[in-house]
Every structure is written in structure tokens, then in C-alpha cells.
Structure 1
């Protein structure tokens, strides 16, 4: 029987570690492969982004089951696996089902929206995009907080494969989340539409499609060299910046607590004397 160099090394490492009483550590010499030589994404490893089509991303997200976090993550990872990226094969190895926990604010807890959660997980594994990765995150988060969503123009609805009837009957109206929390996002939509949480299906599918669309737009703009960090949309609101003047990261005003957050503050914190 003949074996190649990788197989030989794998066997040697396995034997030596077994002798040391640590058989399961036999793959440590291959930081990004398992014992069979299969690729595995390593901690802090990044993969190369290439421009994608926003509407295709939106349509895939809309059609993908498993909740909002899975919809976003699966849409972009799947497209990158089928792209011209030099890392397409590595993208293809990522099990997108791992994002399935993010529905309804992390398994129904109403905390950070799965769209936001997925954006962070995705951008975290993308290689440097002209130094704009952080600005992409900031811009997308502020967009989610301050924009009337989901997108419901006739062109967008047709592009994702939905219908005007679903807009009227199931979405009813778009709304502004004023927060990156699922709780605030759905509550504000419920108040505006008269629908309940249990009736959020079409609305949330479209929200995922809307976020996938804008996320790809931002990534493409960053790839093309645009400095997103200087845009107002990438920065905290004036209210949040005012809060940061006292609740700073390195210093505070008087007895004020030190806080690290760029999210909207006044959604939950309405003042010091309430």
C-alpha cells in the first residue's frame, strides 16, 4: 500500500500523540485541517471577498429557511462559494447551518437581531477590504436602526420573488427599528402594522432580504475603495455621540459609567431623571 506525504505525516503524528496519551491532539500540526486533511476554517483566518450581486443575495436570503441569521449568512457564504474568490472552495466548506441559532433574537429571546448577528459573523471572516470592514459593520448597523424596513418597492418585491398582495396583506407597512434588537424591531413593526409577532413571517423574510441587499452594496463599495468610515451613516447618531461624551471608553464625566456602544441609546435610556 502506498500513501502520500500528508497521509504519512498524519499517521506519524497520530502515533506519536497516542504514545503521549493525547490521541485527539494529533491534528494540531495542521492548523486548518482535520485528521483526514480536510480544510477547516481556523481562528482569526480570513477569506477573500469579491463583489456580488445585491439582488441575487436578497433573493437567496428571502428563499432560504431557518430564520434571519441563517438567511443572511447562508446567502452570502453560498454566493462566495460560487464566485471568483480565490477562497471559494474554503467558503464552500463552511457549514452555514451553524447560523441557525440566531432566529428571533437568538432562539426566540428577542435580543440582537439575527440579521445583525449574521453580519458580524460574516464580516469577521472576510479579509481586509481596503480597511473598511469596521465601517461596513457600523454602516449596516446604523442602517438597520434608522431605515424604514423591510424594503417594499415594486422592483424589490418582484426581484426577490414576492408579490404586491403579500405587501398589503402580510407586511402592511415598513417601520423603523430604532435599535439593533429583535424586540424593538418587531415591536415597532407590530405597532405600525397591527400584526402580532406570530404573523411576522413575510415581514421578517423581506427584512433579511433587505439587509442582505444592503450588506452586499456596502461590501462592494468598500471593495471599490470608497471610504465608508467618513459617511454619517457609519457613525453613531448625534444622540449616541452625546452620550459618549460623558460615558466614554477611556474617561468619563464625574461618576458616569464607562460604556462601549455605538448603538442607539435613547431607545431604552430616556434620561437620567426618569
Structure 2
């Protein structure tokens, strides 16, 4: 059967009614990517020469929460962890240029891209984990946790603002999408003090999460959690490196920016079936 005949069949199914169309699209649906099993990650030899020290995640979160007003989300997340190691181990951490992390505010210079708290968290993992695959797996876990969890739930010991933010699922690692989704859930504007308190607590949350992950990793107890992304995996079946289109590289939730058109829903799988 060629592509033209396939389109004729699809058109006939549309005329015949929704049930026939649904059956047809299911018949042409490509095989999904195989699921990846959970994997235990081991430290191995650290080529970065930056030593990690076991920390209290709660303390990391509290420090990050209060440092938010100093340098915003990325700086505060990084400082919440690295400053404690500097206090324990001294140099070279004591001379670390923490101010360099201030660029990450508002999704990098206010540009609305990667959430600064995640940027700081990924920087911490990058500092201590030298193996690329291991590092990427840990960052993937952190980012998918952020995408899929109701956040923030972090509670500061001494709150800057007498307000407990509503929690929401960001469905995205992007600052502008994450804050917009929270705004829909809470009813507050992006420039409100309430939104700032939400991001302040989210920063504490991420710092605590990264500390928990690094503690487990260097205690030889780290097992991957989010090795599969159902949303991205569906798209990557066709658009990823193993698909015919091979035009997308990524793991983030696609639906934060992209939605399927009616034409894609109806003809996408059929068209893909007969692509060269």
C-alpha cells in the first residue's frame, strides 16, 4: 500500500465516523520506545578533584531559602550546598566565586528559559560527578522530579513572608512556563510578592533535593527514578534519533510548548507509517 492509498483509507474512515478513524489510527501507531530499567549509579573515580561532603538536606534548603534575596534562585541553590562544604573542607571551596551563579535568575538573565534553581542544582551535580552518563542521569532525575511533582511543599523555619504558596505541577523545566502554570493555580501575577515567595521556597526545595541525591550517590545508594519520560518518549518514537524524522533531541515534557494539531492526531501516525 502506498501513501496515497493510505490517505484515501483515512479519508474514508473520517466519512465513516469517529469509531472507524480511532481504529485506523491505532492500527498505524508506531511501536513505542522500549522502557529503560532503573539503574544503580556508582561514584567511581572523580576526575573533577572537587570532594563532596555529606550534608543535611534540611540545612541546605534553609540556607538556599534565605539566600534567595541575595542572588535569586540559581545562586541560592548552589550556595545552599557549596557554602556548607566550604565551611567543612575549606579551600578551594572557600574561594569559590559564588557570585558567578547570579546570572541564572529568572531563567538566565530574566530570559525565562531554564529555571534557575534547576540550573544551580545541575551545576552542583556537574561539580562533583565527572562521568557524563552518570551526571546526565542524575540531572534527568532532578529535572523530571521538578516537572512532575506538586511543588513547593518546602517549609522554612523562619518565613520571609507570612504566606504559604499554593503548590502546582510545573509540567516544564522552563522558568516562564513553570511560573505561568503556578500563576494559573494560585491566581497571583508574575510580579507579585506571593510569586517571589513561591520561587524562594522552590529554591529551598531544589537545594534539599540535590543534597539528598548527592548524599545517596556518594553513599553508593543512588538508583535512578525517572529513567523514562512517558510524554517525551511518545514524541521521540517518531522525532527522536531512532525515529524516521530524527529531528528532536531532548527529554523535557513536550506538551509545555507543543500541542498536537487535529491533522497530527488524525493523519500523523498514518503519514509516518509510509515515510521513506
TM-score for both structures, normalised by structure 2: 0.71
* Residues 1:197 and 2:190 aligned together: yes
Residues 150-202 of structure 1 show CA distances to partners (whole Å, capped at 9, x for unaligned) of 114xxx333xx2279421xxx2x111110000011100111111111111221
Does the CA-based 8 Å contact 2:169-2:181 persist in structure 1? yes
Determine the C-alpha separation between the residues in 1 that align with 2:87 and 2:130: 20
Does the CA-based 8 Å contact 2:48-2:130 persist in structure 1? no
Does the CA-based 8 Å contact 2:75-2:120 persist in structure 1? yes
TM-score for both structures, normalised by structure 1: 0.71
Q: Which residue of the partner structure matches residue 107 of structure 2?
A: 105
Superposition CA RMSD, Å: 2.1
What secondary structure, in the 3-state scheme, does the structure 1 residue paired with 2:191 have?
helix
Does the CA-based 8 Å contact 2:62-2:156 persist in structure 1? no
Q: Which residue of the partner structure matches residue 238 of structure 2?
A: 246
Residue number among 42, 49, 53 corresponding to 2:52 in the alignment: 49
Greater RCO (Cα-Cα under 8 Å, separation 6 or more)? 2
Determine the C-alpha separation between the residues in 2 that align with 1:95 and 1:243: 40
| Number of positions where the alignment pairs a residue of Structure 1 with one of Structure 2 | 212
Q: Which residue of the partner structure matches residue 247 of structure 2?
A: 258
Determine the C-alpha separation between the residues in 1 that align with 2:94 and 2:250: 33
Determine the C-alpha separation between the residues in 2 that align with 1:244 and 1:185: 22
Residues 121-178 of structure 1 show CA distances to partners (whole Å, capped at 9, x for unaligned) of 221121459x8433321111011111111114xxx333xx2279421xxx2x111110
Residue number among 116, 119, 123 corresponding to 2:118 in the alignment: 116
Residue number among 75, 81, 84 corresponding to 1:76 in the alignment: 81
Using the TM superposition, give the Cα deviation of residue 224 of structure 1 relative to its aligned residue in structure 2, in angstroms. 1.6
Determine the C-alpha separation between the residues in 2 that align with 1:60 and 1:157: 10
Runs (5+) with no aligned partner, structure 2 = 1-46, 265-276
What secondary structure, in the 3-state scheme, does the structure 1 residue paired with 2:173 have?
coil
Point out the structure with the larger helix share: 2
Does the CA-based 8 Å contact 2:239-2:247 persist in structure 1? yes
Determine the C-alpha separation between the residues in 1 that align with 2:85 and 2:180: 34
